[in-house]
Amino acid sequence: MVVKEVNMSRYKVEICNVNTQDLTVLSPAEMKEAFIDYQAGDESIKEVLLRGNLKLVLSMVQRFSNRCENMDDLFQVGCIGLVKSIENFDLSHDVRFSTYAVPMILGEIKRYLRDNQMIRVSRNCKDLAHQCFKLKEEYYHEYACECSVEYLCEQTQAKRRDVIEALDSFQSVLSIHEPISNAEGDEMCLVDTISDSKDEIALLGNLLTLRKSLKQLSPKELDILNKRYYLDYTQSEIAKEMGISQAQVSRLEKGALKCLKKNFE
């Protein structure tokens, strides 16, 4: 596998001399049909599911472009999460595969970054952190939500302060002047994204306004915003998955953002 960096949003990744930019993304219907065949015992379908979801791995890897020098390794780690997702996905849960796979892929990537960090952490703290991360992952897969710190304290018999310290000790350290880029490729520094959280009343008001605004959007608009700003899909990828033109995706995205913005004016 070869990774050539120009801009993180324009990575060219080749696996066995196949450019992943040329790989097709499976539609929801194709995904469901493939999983039915795979779970019925057709192992050859596994390769189809892997290749049809490599762009999902790429979108997750892009989030950590400033935390790892070897993106080739990070991509392979993400693929491990993808394989685990395919092997454990349950169609009876009636959720999109991407919804299930994203936490699994991110979990593998974050675990790799934790195990290869530069800051020294004490043995006891590291053991507690690994225990907590394992509990968090098991809890998420069973209940589809994050567990509380209190739950971790109860399961590990550790003090709240020690649990929080253990979890924090494995956070990646970034310079506030670290260059980052958004989905459109506009570059900025991390310090530019740090807001003043002292005005808690204003923050609460904004959250309530945002929640109210989101209810005004259609399911299709919500799906597009989720893919664009959470899963880092391009408009072309969304258009192909939804079976509509890129122009329609662009129009729906702009309309949704305009609807959200007008409530904050």
Contact of 1 with 58, CB cutoff 8 Å: no
- Are 11 and 109 members of one domain? yes
The SS3 call for residue 138 is helix
pLDDT of residue 121: 63
User: What is the number of other CB atoms lying within 10 angstroms of the CB of residue 13?
Assistant: 21
pLDDT of residue 6: 32
Contact of 75 with 58, CB cutoff 8 Å: yes
- Are 15 and 88 members of one domain? yes
The answer to whether residue 180 sits within a structural domain is no
Q: How far apart are CA 118 and CA 129, in angstroms?
A: 16
- Are 113 and 5 members of one domain? yes
- The CATH code of the domain that includes 127 is 1.10.10
Report the DSSP beta bridge partners of residue 3: 13
The answer to whether residue 181 sits within a structural domain is no
- Are 4 and 110 members of one domain? yes
The answer to whether residue 221 sits within a structural domain is yes
Closest of 5, 4, 82, 89 to residue 47, by C-alpha:
82
User: DSSP assignment, residue 244?
Assistant: S
> The pTM is what?
0.44
Render each residue's pLDDT in the chain as its tens digit; 265 residues.
Answer: 333 333 333 445 554 344 656 667 888 888 889 999 998 888 889 988 988 888 888 888 877 766 665 677 888 888 899 999 999 888 887 788 888 888 889 888 888 877 766 555 677 887 888 888 889 888 888 887 888 989 999 999 999 888 888 887 766 555 444 555 554 555 555 555 555 555 566 677 777 787 888 888 888 998 898 888 877 788 888 888 889 999 999 999 998 888 888 877 6
Domain assignment of residue 57, given as a range: 1-117
User: DSSP assignment, residue 190?
Assistant: G
The answer to whether residue 15 sits within a structural domain is yes
The answer to whether residue 92 sits within a structural domain is yes
Locate tokens 């809890």: which residue? 139
User: What is the number of other CB atoms lying within 10 angstroms of the CB of residue 176?
Assistant: 10
The answer to whether residue 253 sits within a structural domain is yes
The answer to whether residue 179 sits within a structural domain is no
Locate tokens 């019925």: which residue? 40
The two structure tokens encoding residue 114: 């934790």
- Are 106 and 146 members of one domain? no
